[in-house]
Chain A
Amino acid sequence: MEKFSYINATSLKQVTSLLSESGWGEIMLIAGGTDLLGEIKEYVESPKTLINLKTLPGMDGIEADASGLKIGALTTIDDIARHPTIQHHYTVLAQAAVSVATPQIRNVGTLGGNLCQRPRCWYYRDETINCLKKSGDICYAVDGLSKYHAILGGDPVYIVHPSDLAPALIALGASVKIVGPEGEKTMSLEEFFTLPADNPFRENVLEPNEIVVEVTIPQAKPNTKSFYLKAREKGAPDFALASVAGVFEMDGKTCKTASIVLGGVAPAPWRSREAEAALTGKMIDESVSMRAGADAVQDAQPLNDNAYKVTLTQNLISRAAMMAAS
């Protein structure tokens, strides 16, 4: 890695003011570091300055009350996975958290870092390959080796968003609080993520001088069942080939509302309104659940090596729906 200076953060104001001194890449934020250090060691990123967020007070912790949940951006993934309220009432989030990487990484990796992590694409992560995600001209996955790449929303950059927490949180209707030099703003987490057609270089709306500070989740509705299903090649650590976060408000076998968000198949967590529509108000059975899966992937555009993800995604959605009805 290249040399960098290291600053312990003292306040959000200080952080955003420091960040405002440069554009992307010069000054970077570090919390758990499980993603960023890999990038720095591989020379994919070479920041001049790192700001350590771990010294910021009050940014970690989970608050559960009648309005729902508040999770600080510095909360570790392990804390999310183990939290009793999350396990019981926001199951999809606990399941997503425990599916992340390894215990060592969950112990230091944070919510904010998980949401803002960079793609795992093997072209992007190779220092010598100047792909479209950086400043190059092409996405090498298009004509190259695309087993782990996007089937939805890819054009023109076919990375997949690697976060497990993001699909679960979006399915739960989460919002994210962002702080910048002008103060704070809150937006739905779904709108936080962007597609490469809008900006090939970034995966979310953050400006270089903004920071994610908190995620809030509304109170879970009664009779809600939720699941995170993650398909991968090995038990751990491994990123999703495809994943489904499903939150179902059920009345017996009938689905009153459904929230279906996909991971590992698109450059952003992919909310499938098609699958939700196919399930809402329906009595869930084999054919309804398969229909929902099929509707979710009807616009899929697989590359050379990833057509299997179309079937896989369809089957995972169907499985999640069947689990909700059982």
Chain B
Amino acid sequence: MASWGEASESRLIGKRITRLSGKDKVTGKAKYTFDINRPGMLYGRILRSEVARATVMGVDTSEAEALPGVKAVIPLIEIGNQLRYQGQEIAAVAAETDDIAKDAIRLIHVDLEELPHVVTEADAMADSAPQIREDWAGNQSEPNIREDGNLQAGFTEAAVEVEATYHTPVQTHVCLETHGHVVEWEDEQNLTIWASTQGVFGVRNDFAQHFELAPNQVRVITEHMGGGFGSKFGPGIEGRTAAELSRITGKAVKLMLTRKDEHLVAGNRPSMTQNVRAGATRDGRLIAYDMKGHGTGGISSGAGFPAPYVYHVPNLRTERVNVAVNAGNQRAMRAPGHPQAAFAMDSLMDELAEKLGMNPLEFRRINDANEVRQAQYTLGAQEIGWQRRNNVPGSGSGVKKRGMGVGSGQWGGGGGRGTEARVTINSDGTVEAVTGTQDIGTGVRTVIAIIVAEELGLAPTDIMVKVGDSQPGLQSGGSGGSQTTPSVAPVIKTAAAAAKQKLFERIAPMLEAPVGDLRVGTGTIYVVSDRTKTITWEQAAGQLGMESISEGGHWDEELRQNGAAGTQFAEVEVDTQTGALKVIKIVAIQDCGLAINRLTTESQVNGGVIMGLGQAILEERVMDPVTGRMLNANLEDYKVPGTFEIPEIKSIVFDTHRRVTGVGEPPCIPTPGAIANAVYNAIGVRIRELPLTPDKILTALAEKKA
């Protein structure tokens, strides 16, 4: 049975190891798609709809075409078709400079017949709303209904009840590097694409299908990328447009989205509204849960969320619909559905606990069947100092009031089959590890180097890791669903083990020992029964001559595990005169199984907490009902956390087993709920809508006073 071995046997795995590409990134040596420039390259730009809904009556590109330096103008919508959100693609240009391209799209004249729009859920659900999706009566999808147990009987048994509405707005991904591609055709049959993507092979296959090419005629390269968070799986319209412009002009084309485009069309986390009625028994058991909810994923669907979340309720009815609005579509965003679900559920849990007169942590212990989280509750309470919290919410003295809260999360992250990898040992002692995964920023390069180095007795810096290129033809899946490390690590480990075995077979005769007696030391190979027989790694590899060893690996169930429980505790301070919320500390305990690299795993947790913090205290897509426009499609009014907002984060990598589990997504799940509960504990008035900005806090405090 394959195993990662005991912690005591590991020289590198589980230790804190600096990421291999770190220096290149901070010195600017690392090349992102944005940095790629090709000889004779043109710049692409897309003209987008400035209105939320209209019929396209005509598009006149003649002036743009006449602008010196413009090499191609192509339509992206047919006359007579409907534009259904601000930012939707109308036409594209390729020009000699980015400035010319920018000027050119402004010279394209579009004749529109504006149609009534709805950009908020409330407007879309109103009786008088214009129908913006033919297939959804009242702009709502068919309800998704789930029933379990006996709801009526549950409420009869309940000693306390809470009825409340929880809301989270649309959040955008805000990838540091915007979406985009550099596309270059070598000839009519072969093209190379530098893509800011989290799925090199997905992009390759999409391009191949679109242009009716064999997959191996398309090469996709993603050396480094500046964040995806679920929004960068396919080439999108912008990628196919770049390829089309390149094909027409015979030149390489770079087409990167603007920050505004990014907010408008490159995906978002859907909104969520839950109208919940729930009950618990006197002894603190959740007994009944009735939820009617909705969310919007733009003009598309995809606004689902799990409810109830994490905690078990025996009697329930849930009803969910998607609401269509004239706004850019959702895409997967870091633990899709979960942070908003956790915010609602953890708020509800605290409201029920208070009605029962029960400590919210105790109430969770009673209703949480997950043993890992039970242990996390104990550890987290110690770390944050749970006994310091206000027994009576809002009872702290002074203008600035402190409070504490807790939130929970659950994720999978077990990885899956489909990764191919090769580990090669050359006669000069160099080692290469190659696979078709990509580093979305989580440090998979370093993870691969650690695994190979551990297996071969080398240092991570000795391993040449090649990822983010489809050309070697070694497939791997997209970096999503917290799947990268659990999918890749087993294959790399078995490939390295196979290469090591081959090397042992080659050098065993020279060492006059049975293959089974050979072991790797640190940069050495020795015979376990006779330590005088030790040779250096270079000496061993030198035996290979012209015949390098190159071995593949396989995925192994036993090396990974699904299921990652998380708990977070927040301490906050609220200035009751200004409504300013300061998050003082987050204790984030993340179950992750075996952390191959403890340092980058902690970084994952830090990053997740910061993203959850942004959702909790700042972020919101603001849609104007009158003009139909997003009013904050920039980074001035769409506010993300900066250094002043980042609290002390205590990231606790909670190793519960020696199998690999991905944790890219789950650390952002419990944060908003924990912060919202801490705010309640601080000020004694509950805010059921994110983000927790000063206007909401002051309004809530005023209502409490009145």
Same assembly = yes
B556 within 8 A of A: no
Given the known A-B contacts A145-B624, A236-B644, A308-B695, are A128 and B577 also in contact in the complex, defined by CB atoms under 8 Å?
A: no
Q: Which of the residues A144, A237, A305, A318 comes within 8 Å of B625, measured between beta carbons?
A: A144
Residue of B nearest to A293 (CB): B577
Residue of B nearest to A2 (CB): B103
Q: How far is the CA of A92 from the CA of B677 in the complex (A)?
A: 36
Given the known A-B contacts A129-B629, A147-B695, A305-B695, are A312 and B642 also in contact in the complex, defined by CB atoms under 8 Å?
A: no
**Are A233 and B694 in touch, CB under 8 angstroms?**
yes
Interface residue SS majority, chain B:
loop
**Are B644 and A316 in touch, CB under 8 angstroms?**
no
**Are B626 and A143 in touch, CB under 8 angstroms?**
yes
**Are A234 and B695 in touch, CB under 8 angstroms?**
no
Contact with B along A92-135 (1 / 0, CB 8 A): 00000000000000000000000000001011001011000000
Task: Please provide the chain A residues from 271 to 326 with a CB less than 8 Å away from any CB of chain B in the complex.
Answer: 305-308, 311-312, 315-316, 318-319
Interface size on A, residues (CB 8 A): 29
Q: Which of the residues A233, A307, A308, A319 comes within 8 Å of B639, measured between beta carbons?
A: A233
Interface bracket on B: 20 to 34
Q: Which of the residues A234, A236, A307, A316 comes within 8 Å of B699, measured between beta carbons?
A: A307
A231 within 8 A of B: yes
Q: How far is the CA of A147 from the CA of B620 in the complex (A)?
A: 13
A191 within 8 A of B: no
**Are B627 and A235 in touch, CB under 8 angstroms?**
no
Residue of B nearest to A309 (CB): B695
What residues on A are CB-neighbors of B577 within 8 Å? 312, 315-316, 318-319
Residue of A nearest to B695 (CB): A308
Q: How far is the CA of A123 from the CA of B702 in the complex (A)?
A: 29
What residues on B are CB-neighbors of A307 within 8 Å? 699
**Are B693 and A233 in touch, CB under 8 angstroms?**
yes
Residue of A nearest to B86 (CB): A128
B643 within 8 A of A: yes
**Are A312 and B629 in touch, CB under 8 angstroms?**
no
What residues on B are CB-neighbors of A238 within 8 Å? 639
What residues on A are CB-neighbors of B699 within 8 Å? 307-308
Residue of A nearest to B635 (CB): A237
What residues on A are CB-neighbors of B501 within 8 Å? none
**Are B694 and A231 in touch, CB under 8 angstroms?**
yes
**Are A145 and B631 in touch, CB under 8 angstroms?**
yes
A241 within 8 A of B: yes
**Are A140 and B642 in touch, CB under 8 angstroms?**
no
Residue of B577, B625, B636 most packed against chain A (CB within 10 A): B577
**Are B631 and A126 in touch, CB under 8 angstroms?**
yes
**Are B632 and A128 in touch, CB under 8 angstroms?**
no
**Are A128 and B629 in touch, CB under 8 angstroms?**
yes
Q: How far is the CA of A323 from the CA of B569 in the complex (A)?
A: 34
Task: Please provide the chain B residues from 219 to 273 with a CB less than 8 Å away from any CB of chain A in the complex.
Answer: none
B564 within 8 A of A: no
Given the known A-B contacts A315-B577, A319-B577, are A308 and B698 also in contact in the complex, defined by CB atoms under 8 Å?
A: yes
Residue of B nearest to A231 (CB): B578
Residue of A nearest to B691 (CB): A233
What residues on B are CB-neighbors of A311 within 8 Å? 698, 702
What residues on A are CB-neighbors of B632 within 8 Å? 122
**Are B694 and A312 in touch, CB under 8 angstroms?**
yes
What residues on A are CB-neighbors of B428 within 8 Å? none
Q: How far is the CA of A108 from the CA of B446 in the complex (A)?
A: 40
**Are A140 and B695 in touch, CB under 8 angstroms?**
no
Residue of A231, A236, A308, A312 most packed against chain B (CB within 10 A): A308
**Are B636 and A120 in touch, CB under 8 angstroms?**
yes
Q: Which of the residues A120, A235, A308 comes within 8 Å of B645, measured between beta carbons?
A: A235
**Are A234 and B641 in touch, CB under 8 angstroms?**
yes
Given the known A-B contacts A234-B641, A307-B699, are A140 and B624 also in contact in the complex, defined by CB atoms under 8 Å?
A: yes
Q: How far is the CA of A315 from the CA of B702 in the complex (A)?
A: 12
B704 smallest CB distance to A (angstroms):
12
What residues on B are CB-neighbors of A128 within 8 Å? 50, 627, 629
B222 smallest CB distance to A (angstroms):
29
22 cross-chain CB contacts under 8 A: A123-B627, A123-B631, A126-B629, A128-B629, A145-B622, A147-B695, A231-B578, A231-B579, A231-B694, A233-B618, A234-B618, A234-B644, A234-B645, A235-B644, A236-B642, A308-B579, A308-B695, A308-B699, A308-B702, A311-B702, A312-B577, A315-B577
Besides A235-B643, A311-B702, 8 more A-B contacts (Cβ < 8 Å) are A122-B631, A123-B627, A126-B631, A140-B627, A147-B695, A311-B698, A316-B578, A319-B577
Q: Which 4 A-B pairs have the closest CB atoms?
A: A235-B644, A315-B577, A122-B631, A308-B695
